Amino acid sequence: MDKVSERRKEKKKFAGHFGRHLRKIREQKDISQENLSLKAGYYRTYVGKIEQGKYSPSFHTVWRLANALGYSLAEFLKGF
C-alpha cells in the first residue's frame, strides 16, 4: 500500500472513531443533532455526516462542537 492510500485509510478510520465519540457524548447530554448544529453554527446534515464518519472535522470544528456541548476541548477529547 502506498503512502497516499495509507493516509486515506487512516483519515477514514479517524473520522469514524471521532464520529462515534461525538454521537456518544451528544446522546449522553440528551441533545439532538438539530440542537447541537444550531448551537455550533452548522447545518444538521453536516453534524450527521461527521457522526457517520463521512467527514473529518477541522480542529476549529471540533472546538465549536465541544463548546456547543458544554465542554472544553480537553474535556471533550478525554477518552478519545
Which pLDDT score is estimated for 1? 72
14-41 b/e (C-beta count within 10 Å ≥ 16 → b): ebeebbeebbebbeeeebebeebbeebe
**Structural domain count, the chain:** 1
Q: Is the pLDDT of residue 80 over 90?
A: no
Predicted pLDDT of residue 79: 80
Look up the CATH number of the domain holding residue 10: 1.10.260.40
Dump pLDDT digits (tens) for 18-64: 999 999 999 999 999 999 999 999 999 999 999 999 999 999 999 99
| Residue 70 structural domain | 3-77
> How far, in Å, are 9, 11, 13, 51 from residue 35 at the CA level?
31, 27, 26, 14
The span from the CA of 61 to the CA of 73, in Å, is: 11
Show Cβ contacts of residue 34 under 8 Å, excluding neighbours closer than 6 positions.
Answer: 44
